[in-house]
Amino acid sequence: MPSANRTMRFNHISFPSRDVDATASFFERHLGCSVSPMSTSRVVKRHDFDIVIEDAAGRQVDWPENFHIGFELPTAADVARLFEAFTHAGVRMTTGLIKAARGSRFFCEIPGGVLVEINTREDAAEPYRASFGLAAAH
Residues 23 and 87 in one domain: no
Do residue 131 and residue 69 come from a single domain? yes
Tell which of 57, 76, 95 closes a domain.
57
Report the C-alpha gap between 123 and 113 in whole angstroms.
29
Mean pLDDT within 94-115: 94
Residue 74 and residue 137 share a domain: yes
Q: pLDDT tens digit string along 45-88? A: 988 889 999 999 888 888 888 899 999 999 999 999 999 999 99
What is the pTM for the complete model shown? 0.84
Does 132 have pLDDT greater than 90?
no
Helix (H) or strand (E) holding 103: strand 103-109
CATH of residue 113: 3.10.180.10
Residue 138 — pLDDT band, cuts 50, 70, 90?
very low
- Helix, strand, coil tally for the chain in percent (to 5): 30, 35, 40
Tens digits of residue pLDDT in 2-31: 667 777 777 889 999 999 999 999 999 999
What CA–CA distance (Å, rounded) separates 131 from 57? 36
Torsion angle defined by CA atoms of residues 120, 20, 26 and 10, in that order, rounded to the nearest 10 degrees: 30
- Domain of 137? 65-138
